[in-house]
Structure 1
Amino acid sequence: MEDKIWLSSPHMGGNELKYIHEAFDTNWVAPLGPNVNGFEEDLAQYLQEEVKVVALSAGTAALHLALIQCGVGYGDEVICQSMTFSASANPIVYQGAFPVFVDSEPETWNICPFALEEAIKDRIAKGKVPKAIIAVHLYGMPFKVDEISGIAAKYNIPLIEDAAEALGSTYKGKACGTFGRMGVLSFNGNKIITTSGGGALVCHNQHEKDTAVFLSTQARDQAPHYQHSHIGYNYRMSNIAAGIGRGQMEVLPERVIQRRKAHDFYRELFHDIEGVKVFSEPTSDYYSNHWLSAIILNPNRSQVTPEDLRLALLESNIESRPLWKPMHLQPIFSGASYYGGKVAQELFENGLCLPSGSNLTENELHRIAQVIHRVFKKQYHLETKTN
């Protein structure tokens, strides 16, 4: 059996150990220190906006703190994109609030502006003004920022931008993660850069950052003893993990280029294959980091199903994965309100994520291409026999 080809594995740049050794040499191993400060500064400079960044233990933690700062509490409602990973929705429940899920649109696979406004109007008519909107840049693809931001502003509802998968992506030249009231980043092991596990909250002023730091360090009051007037959380990133992040930031621009090359590889690979569409930017306004390259197989034009292809790749020790199962179809959220049609459901049923790591070798790409050609060659022969 040949070596495993992973969907999206960590890719070290080489200088991570330098920052880790500095943390050990200076005994900065706590959730504070020069690497934490430096990592936050590196991220703020990369985003190229007047933002303040808070390094945290996970993107989920960042989203939770964003909801708190937006005033979300028990019994409130928060609108959330249904086509996403569960971490986008779970923190709503942490706050005792209720998620209201909204369908996707087919161009970016992200939250649909029409279904979003329908949801807002209906919740208001029912006496529930949503306290926040969570929109996701799925697989690194920016959502329809102008439309979604305009609707949020029209109804004066704070927009929380889940850019966990979109570091390095831009919309009209502006970095994803900087459009909303707050932005969320993730550095999980499978993301475009990693701190092993970690995330960050992107704020727009010092007060928001100070509040996030306070809440993420157990909300300890200014006193010589341990005194607490608020519920706090143990969410701060360690100085060692931040050291990994500092090394990863040095190679982030290169990682974006490499992920986009993987996407281009799949576009070329599927160019002449009937019934397959590679997920790509709808216009030049969108620039995706293509964290994960994904395809849709048209059930009316392809005899190959996503599961056929997934199993064929698995047989060759190559990892692939179905698209996110929409939140409104998850058992835990079966009672939640939902607005829209079946775009997200059909994407889930007909889509597949393919190996997209920035460390894919030419040999690995060749192996992937061989399996794909073999699977679709069978389809061609079946079509020939039928005709």
Structure 2
Amino acid sequence: MTATSSGTLERILLSPPDVGDREEQLVVEALRSGWIAPLGPMVDAFEEGVAARCGRTHAVALSSGTAALHLGLLELGAGPGTVVIVPTMTFAATANAVVYTGAEPVFVDCEGTTGNLDPGLLERCLGRLRAEGVTVAAVVPVDLLGRCADYTSLLAICERFEVPVLADAAESVGSWHAERPAGSFGRMAALSFNGNKIMTTSGGGMLLTDSAVQADRIRYLSSQARQPAEHYEHTEVGYNYRLSNLLAAVGLGQLERLDSMIGRRRAVRERYVECFAGLPGVRVFQRDGDEADNCWLTSVLVDEARAGWSAGELRRALAEADIESRPLWKPMHLQPLHAGARTWLSGASEGLFATGVTLPSGSALRPEEVDRVIGTVTDFVRGGR
């Protein structure tokens, strides 16, 4: 166990940033180059590196994953009088970006095994909306906790209905589906480099596309939509969404280390698999088929009737030991902000929210910290609760 100078144990966080000497070296290089303001050679190199990693032709570095979703939706025509289909099992940013455009989010439930958008429900939803004459601007699948959505099925469905896909790959950089990297699916894809993600730029994101026209348009909108005039001519609303050269330097270091960071997260997951093996009523979420996942976060699902204890009781035991844990995302259709929204539900997302516990999963976790988490869980299960 690691203690502070006062003798108290340090808090163990869910997914803190993992940065080191290489990132520091690149930031110092950027500082000394004089490229302090947004844009610069580090941004260019970061865009090229991420595009190559994700199998895309173009990438635009932005201030957040939410900004990437917002601009991508605008480019696809989302706005007043349209709807955008979003999984209900996601973080609020996915739905917020829809609202920014003036479009209406329509929430569709997830598969119980993966937490990702349910293709069957999506197909029924699109059929009903078409019958009602509703304009669907886009479908935004989310790669939950680093597991790519079933793009093989989802893209085929959306193609039949002639609806574009904007993939929310905020959580899945480094993952794969059908031998293709996360971020390569859909008309465009959005990445996040927030402080808790698999790789970080402190705050930041990226929009990926294979269209030079789309990439140029996104760059234009993200730089305040400035016309090429000395006096700052503007003909439409733009946004201050570009990533700084300094933060891109952090991203370059992270990109170099991405595979090793994924490897450490996978090692943490394997420790949890061993910890919970054989316990009745408990299973590691998304374990089946996780060979292609980046293991961003590891969660367990608790069947209280079989386990004899609840997900909430486990979270409280971890909190008492100063260990951060969380439920899975609270579904968007349960959020007060979206009360009354149109929904297509199966109950899967509510079940995951009620039974899930997300455990510390960061690549910066030290072995003794993982031992402390597992020790706390073991004591709780043996009756210490």
* Stretch deviating more after TM superposition (126-135 or 347-356): 126-135
User: TM-score if structure 1 supplies the norm length?
Assistant: 0.95
Q: In the TM superposition, what are the counterparts of 1:174-193 in structure 2 within 5 Å?
A: 174-193=180-199
- Residue in structure 1 matched with residue 29 of structure 2 by the alignment: 22
Amino acid at match of 1:98: E
Q: Do residues 294 (structure 1) and 296 (structure 2) align?
A: no
C-alpha displacement of 1:42: 1.2
Does structure 1 residue 339 correspond to structure 2 residue 358? no
For residue 251 of structure 1, give the secondary structure of its aligned residue in structure 2: helix
Looking at structure 2, the residues matched to 298 and 281 of structure 1 have their Cα atoms a distance apart, in angstroms, of 16
Give the counterpart of 1:68 among 69, 74, 86: 74
Q: Aligned letter for 2:346? A: G
1:4 counterpart residue number: 11
1:281, distance to aligned residue in structure 2 (A): 4.5
Q: Deviations over 1:325-363 (max 9, x none)?
A: 000110000111000210000100110100001011111
1:31 to 26, 30, 38: 38
Deviation at 1:114, TM superposition (A): 1.0
CA RMSD of aligned residues (A): 1.3
Contact 1:13 1:251 in 2 (8 A): no
Report whether the alignment pairs 1:105 with 2:126. no
Equivalenced residue count is: 378
Give 1:45 shift: 2.0
Alignment of 1:1-387 (within 5 A): 1-47=8-54, 49-283=55-289, 287-378=292-383
The residue identity in structure 1 corresponding to 2:180 is K
Displacement after TM superposition at 1:280 (Å)? 2.6
Alpha-carbon deviation of 1:143? 1.0
Distance 2:162 2:238 in 1: 28
User: Where in structure 1 do 4 or more consecutive aligned residues deviate above 3 Å?
Assistant: 281-284
Whole-Å separation in 2 of the counterparts to 1:97 and 1:129: 10
Tell me the distance in 1 between the aligned counterparts of 2:16 and 2:289: 29
SS in structure 2 opposite 1:99?
A: strand
What letter is aligned with 1:7? L
Structure 2: how far apart are the matches of 1:282 and 1:208? 36
Determine the C-alpha separation between the residues in 1 that align with 2:14 and 2:80: 38
Q: Report if the CA contact (8 A) 1:13-1:248 is conserved.
A: no
Structure 1, gaps ≥5 residues long: 383-387
Q: Deviations over 1:281-337 (max 9, x none)?
A: 5347x6110100011001221221111111111111110011100001100001110
* Cα offset, 1:181, TM superposition: 0.7
Aligned partners of 1:80 and 1:135 also within 8 Å: yes
Equivalent-residue separation in structure 2 for 1:117 and 1:168 (angstroms): 28
CA distance, structure 1, for counterparts of residue 286 and residue 315 of structure 2: 20
With the length of structure 2 as denominator, give the TM-score of the two structures.
0.96
Q: Distance in 2 between matches of 1:91 and 1:182?
A: 15
Q: Percent identity?
A: 42
